[in-house]
Structure 1
Amino acid sequence: MKLLSLKNITLAAGMALISSACTSRFDNINKDPNSPTTISPQYLLTYGLEKSIDRYWGTSTRFERLNLDAAELWIQHLGRNIYSNEGDNYEASQALMLNNWQSFFNDSQLNFQRILTITAENGSQPHTNYYGVALVMRTWVFSLLTDTFGAIPYSEALKGGTDSPILTPKYDSQEEIYTQMLADLKTANEKLSVTGPAISGDIVYSGSILKWKKFANSLRLRLANRQAAKKPAASRAIMKEILADPTTYPIFTSNDDNATLKTTTSRPSNNEWNETMIWGSRTDWNLSKTLVDKLVSLNDPRLDVYGTQQGNVWQGVPNGLPDAIATTYLSTAAKIGTTFTKADAPEVVMTLAELNFILAEAAIDGDIDGGTATAKDYFEKGVNASMAQYGLTTPASYFTTVGTVTREKIMEQKWISLFANGVEAWVEWRRTGLPVFPAKDPRSVFANDGVLPTRLTYPGSEASLNGVNMKAGIALNGGADDFKTKLWWAEK
């Protein structure tokens, strides 16, 4: 379960770490048994997991929801029936950039980094499994940051509290960051030991180290595939290493392995979409016409899970409509399904379906030798896993309806399976340009010159506090600090 109350514990521990008694004479006098000067990694882990995955999935705070008010709209899973300027028309508030940047670095990364520091071999509480889990999560959050902004502080980040603090860290290129992230995931897999010491505070896998190893290696495949068009030899070597030795490098093999944050039916441990849409009574979103039309054309049973039909026919809201038109869809377009708005709905980070679509793409691109498995095999496993994730069985005629397996079909099915994981779907669309979306509704009005955003701009805090390095980061991105500069892994 999620434990928001850990915030005070973490902050208290942080203050304790940076403060000290005036003289050694008062050390014992000033000790308060109820105010610890150190904190167990289990509490840091719970807090870091909760804050990072909640932030990714869709914080309930308006103007800050990267997934709900940006990615899910831009990728046309959802559309707005009001306030189209809050993401649906390609606009975004400064709060979106600022608060996601600060939260991922401060609420997430500082806690994972603290775990790494205290559980390292030379740390105060050596523990290989806490270390491995924290390294996986730190890597995942860094991947979110670089895939959202481009170049970011990386090699010098998280060093503000060290003996030689760096308060204005340099920006590293995406290529450099990817190289190190892939190396860190390999290290994490090596550190994680199923026969090693147990961990507590794990609200993702309930302490299963084998599942953390599977996530580490599956995530490594995701990142290797993402950079494959830019660094094919390195990516192929990584994929071959993992797939050739499943004992050393286990990966997802069932939906039980999916990386998800466990939520509960009680606040504040409920799903963030439940907090926003049920407790917050926000009805701003319907399913996008693009998604609804595609699922209807495929007679796809996931439509009944993703949405709830209103009226006699399935209808979605076109993206980018002015409010005066968009509001007419509130009571006619499909609502978001209760599978995603119920209190204990899981907040999903990575699934078996996604992994199989990664392998299908790698196979069809020639980046892996699947042995007896072909791109078609991985493709069908991906669809079946996505269906099974929601208790569905793939209809007997489904693959006939889909047709010949191509790269375009793989990416289309990946997009369908990533419903609610808008941030991940947004990355994949920006990388490949797939799926190809239908023509925009002629009534829609888009900002950003009608260009679907390719990145977020750096927050204003960076310009004022780290301006010189931010300018160097903009140069590393190879374009202006706007919503139209393509990131390093973009294939077109």
Structure 2
Amino acid sequence: MKSLLQHCQLFSFFIVIGVITSCTKDFEKLNTDPVKVTSVAPGSLLAPAQFDGMWLITKRAHRLSNELMQYTVETGALNDFARYEFKENEFDAIWSTLYVKANDMNEMYKIAEKLNDVNNMGAALVMKAWFVSNLTDMFGDIPYTDAFKGREEVYYPKYDTQQSIYTNLLADLKRANTLFTENKPFDSSDLIYGSDPVKWKKFANSMRLRLLMRVSKRTEMNVPTEIAEMVADPVKFPLFTSNADEAMMRYDGIKPFINLFFEMSASEFSGSRRMGKSLMDLMNTTVDGRRFRYATKNTPGAYVGIPSGYTEQETQAFADNTGLKTSTLATTLKADDYPFPILTWAEVNFLLAEAALNGWISANAQTYFNKGVEASWRQWNCTWDPSGSTTPGATYLARPTVRFTGTTATLERIMSQKYIAMFFCGFESWYDYRRTGYPVLPVGPAAKNNGILPTRFEYPLITKATNKANYEAAAARIGGDNLRTKVWWQQ
């Protein structure tokens, strides 16, 4: 039997690092190499992929996306990110870990398929779609067709176009919807839904809705028709219908299943970060009841953020605020049992509000918008009002800068509220910004990259070094490997 290194040479430019570093040590019993061990129960591969993939996305969003989207502003050594400057190897860990996890799910599917284990086949397709969609949304064209052919000794995979990747992911999610069934066993180590096929089916369709909206500018993807078909038949294509359905990592606070921010030092998690002015101003003008879940108060007891895109010295002065200080990340976000979202009911409602606003579905966009705001408040355990009462939810929805009716029923209004709701939801707000241009974020005077908020990440250093010919072909095809090149769905 070939060695693990030989089998993973298909990722010779990224996987070697990933195999060594990506698996959480406490999940060693579950983190079985699926390429070497074909007799493993397919469902046992699910938990390590969920845990490691979720942690990679959450941690890197905390480090990168939160800075780009001005949720936070780093005042110390990582202040470069707010100015759109990155080290050459910054994206290597994202690339290697997500490919390892996607490969694990590809192997899980094949093992489950041999056993006709339809529920684990469906779960593998959904998780693989989540990992791969993040990869292609970050980088653009990436290896896909050749990327999981280690057994065939394809060591230098070609890069697929993003259009072909999305076509495959959307087909996989549509197929996953047909696989999940309550009448078949679902034995797995599932950390999200405890092996509930009904909720997994809703997750598959809600993920498909997310990805359809991502590519909605591309007429060749026929998105209006696809979304209309889903919404018109909720029995065949069930979506999330409450907060109880949403895909969350609800940590129990008992090792190994803990929020790993808990093990970060306070200084690494939040000590040198301050809340972004864009977010805090938006929430302050509406007296947003979620503020205490997101941020601390400054010395006088106010929620105060700082502007992004200034020099490190200027940023530190903003943070000091002439001695009054500014808000940092809420300490509760670091709790060992604090849950973080993959895909929420709030997001589904905002997606449907956008579809209704565009006239793709026969529905009231305001109703979905209001449900999205309420769902977000409830997700963050904030007090909402019963139907028909006046405080606090109804008051919030009636505020001039929140109200969604008449001339204020716009895409910008949807995306502004979605921006608030997507706090700590991976890289989703960055993807939304690149697709819609909302919310409008000021670019600071010290920003690099021609003052353009990055539209993609540059391909990792390890890829350039070890899969050079295919890298160069992909870079030429997309229009250059830089932070300003738009990915296919942005065109």
When normalised by structure 1's length, the TM-score is 0.87
1:98 paired with 2:96, answer no
Instruction: Please list the CA deviations of residues 9-49 of structure 1 after superposition, one character each: whole Å capped at 9, or x if unmatched.
Output: 535664x44xxxxxxxxxxxxxxxxxxx7322232111111
What is the deviation of 1:285? 1.6
Distance 2:28 2:469 in 1: 33
Distance 1:128 1:73 in 2: 40
Correspondence for 2:468: 467
Correspondence for 1:41: 42
Check the 8 A contact 1:119/1:130 in 2, yes or no.
Answer: yes
* Pair 318,234 (structure 1): closer, same or farther in 2 beyond 3 Å: same
What is the deviation of 1:365? 1.3
Distance 2:424 2:239 in 1: 23
Distance 2:240 2:30 in 1: 34
Distance 1:236 1:355 in 2: 16
Correspondence for 1:409: 413
Distance 1:383 1:281 in 2: 27
1:77 paired with 2:75, answer no
Check the 8 A contact 1:276/1:282 in 2, yes or no.
Answer: no
1:317 paired with 2:306, answer yes
Correspondence for 2:108: 115
The one-letter code of the counterpart of 1:320 is: G
Distance 1:309 1:185 in 2: 42
Correspondence for 1:481: 481
Check the 8 A contact 1:152/1:172 in 2, yes or no.
Answer: yes
Correspondence for 1:399: 397
What is the deviation of 1:362? 1.0
The one-letter code of the counterpart of 1:391 is: N
1:197 paired with 2:182, answer no
Distance 1:380 1:281 in 2: 32
The one-letter code of the counterpart of 1:6 is: F
Which one has a larger percent helix, Structure 1 or Structure 2?
Answer: 2
Displaced runs of 4 or more, over 6 A = none
The one-letter code of the counterpart of 1:318 is: P
* Pair 233,171 (structure 1): closer, same or farther in 2 beyond 3 Å: closer
Distance 1:410 1:349 in 2: 20
Instruction: Please list the CA deviations of residues 56-104 of structure 1 after superposition, one character each: whole Å capped at 9, or x if unmatched.
Output: 111xxxxxx2x02211111111111212444121112233211110110
* Pair 282,336 (structure 1): closer, same or farther in 2 beyond 3 Å: closer
1:428 paired with 2:432, answer yes
- Superposition map of 1:247-262 within 5 A: 247-262=235-250
1:242 paired with 2:230, answer yes
Check the 8 A contact 1:169/1:469 in 2, yes or no.
Answer: yes
- Superposition map of 1:354-393 within 5 A: 354-370=347-363, 374-392=364-382, 393=384
1:353 paired with 2:357, answer no
Check the 8 A contact 1:285/1:335 in 2, yes or no.
Answer: yes
More displaced stretch, 353-362 vs 165-174: 165-174
Distance 1:318 1:399 in 2: 27
Work out which of the residue numbers 151, 175, 181 in structure 1 matches 2:163.
175
Distance 2:357 2:33 in 1: 52
1:144 paired with 2:138, answer no
Distance 2:75 2:268 in 1: 16
The one-letter code of the counterpart of 1:406 is: T
Q: Structure 2: 5+ residue runs without aligned partners?
A: 1-22, 385-391
What is the deviation of 1:386? 0.7
More displaced stretch, 316-325 vs 448-457: 316-325
Correspondence for 1:342: 335
Distance 2:147 2:271 in 1: 39
* Pair 9,345 (structure 1): closer, same or farther in 2 beyond 3 Å: closer
1:10 paired with 2:10, answer no
Q: How many residues align?
A: 450
**RMSD, matched Cα:** 2.1
Check the 8 A contact 1:255/1:352 in 2, yes or no.
Answer: yes
SS at match of 2:192: coil
When normalised by structure 2's length, the TM-score is 0.87
Correspondence for 1:26: none
The one-letter code of the counterpart of 1:301 is: G
Distance 2:250 2:396 in 1: 32
Instruction: Please list the CA deviations of residues 209-250 of structure 1 after superposition, one character each: whole Å capped at 9, or x if unmatched.
Output: 111100100111111111112127621221122111111111
SS at match of 1:349: strand
Work out which of the residue numbers 196, 214, 232 in structure 2 matches 1:208.
196
Distance 2:84 2:200 in 1: 36
Instruction: Please list the CA deviations of residues 399-429 of structure 1 after superposition, one character each: whole Å capped at 9, or x if unmatched.
Output: 2212322111001111111011250000000
* Pair 232,254 (structure 1): closer, same or farther in 2 beyond 3 Å: farther
Q: Structure 1: 5+ residue runs without aligned partners?
A: 18-36, 59-64
What is the deviation of 1:171? 1.0
* Pair 45,436 (structure 1): closer, same or farther in 2 beyond 3 Å: same
Distance 2:31 2:333 in 1: 30
Instruction: Please list the CA deviations of residues 282-311 of structure 1 after superposition, one character each: whole Å capped at 9, or x if unmatched.
Output: 512221011001111111111121111012
Distance 2:156 2:434 in 1: 30
Identity of aligned residues (%): 33
What is the deviation of 1:343? 1.3
* Pair 279,316 (structure 1): closer, same or farther in 2 beyond 3 Å: closer
Check the 8 A contact 2:217/2:489 in 1, yes or no.
Answer: yes
* Pair 268,5 (structure 1): closer, same or farther in 2 beyond 3 Å: closer
Check the 8 A contact 1:271/1:345 in 2, yes or no.
Answer: yes
Distance 1:280 1:294 in 2: 26
